[in-house]
Amino acid sequence: GAGVSQTPSNKVTEKGKYVELRCDPISGHTALYWYRQSLGQGPEFLIYFQGTGAADDSGLPNDRFFAVRPEGSVSTLKIQRTERGDSAVYLCASSLSLAGANSYNEQFFGPGTRLTVL
Amino acid sequence: SQQGEEDPQALSIQEGENATMNCSYKTSINNLQWYRQNSGRGLVHLILIRSNEREKHSGRLRVTLDTSKKSSSLLITASRAADTASYFCATDEGGFKTIFGAGTRLFVKA
């Protein structure tokens, strides 16, 4: 079946501009995660959704970053007033559900969106 | 901030050799996972080990976990050129946030 897809695959923007990054999770997956990965580093947690609500947004670096998932499926990560330091690969993942604190549901990752802020 | 720390940062071996990567973490965990990433893009989940397990195998992969030392190791036996990738350990804080380490870059020479 179809995996997690992300669009665009590459985005080049100028400092100060607004960008939106889209994630289409695997159908039926209720949990959705956003990560940011800088060159040579591991993915850094940003936010995750259970259904339509942001269950944990503690990884968002500041209030220029916002994410929505209005219908519990597709999610959009929004970055306002972009800065050069926002340049990174933004990864999205989805999983079936979070069944409890001691359970694990495998996350399936998309290919990422490479954001370059000039 | 990232919890897991892998070492070595980079590893270069010949095809057929074994590759061992280590990971250390800082707080109590429910489970630890290992992921592979090719060409700086999508991650693929390799194996999960729960906090009450000490060793787990999957094909050519062997993972160990020592919760007293807060460390894990990933062993890839009989490596192949196709194993060339970055490998990350990741820990779950109560099954919610997943915290990744900085990764080990493995290069397998044919």
Pick the residue of B97, B99, B104, B105 with the most A CBs within 10 A to test the interface with A by mutation.
B97
How much is the pLDDT for B105?
95
- When mean pLDDT is compared across A54-58, A111-115, B50-54, the lowest value belongs to A54-58
Residues B25/B3, Cβ–Cβ less than 8 Å: yes
Helix (H) or strand (E) holding A19: strand A19-24
- The helices-and-strands tally (H runs, E runs) of chain A is 0, 11
Residue B94 banded pLDDT, cuts 50, 70, 90: low
Question: Is A105 a residue whose pLDDT tops 80?
Answer: no
Structure tokens at A112: 């990422």
CB A109 to CB B42 under 8 A? Answer: yes
Residues B89/B34, Cβ–Cβ less than 8 Å: yes
Task: Read off the pLDDT of residues A81-100 as tens digits, 9 standing for 90 and up.
Answer: 999 999 999 999 999 875 55
Question: Is A69 a residue whose pLDDT tops 90?
Answer: yes
Distance CA(B20)–CA(B75), nearest Å, equals 4
- For residue A72, the one-letter residue type is G
Q: Nearest Cβ partner of A104 from B88, B92, B97?
A: B92
How much is the pLDDT for B95?
54
Residues B34/B22, Cβ–Cβ less than 8 Å: no
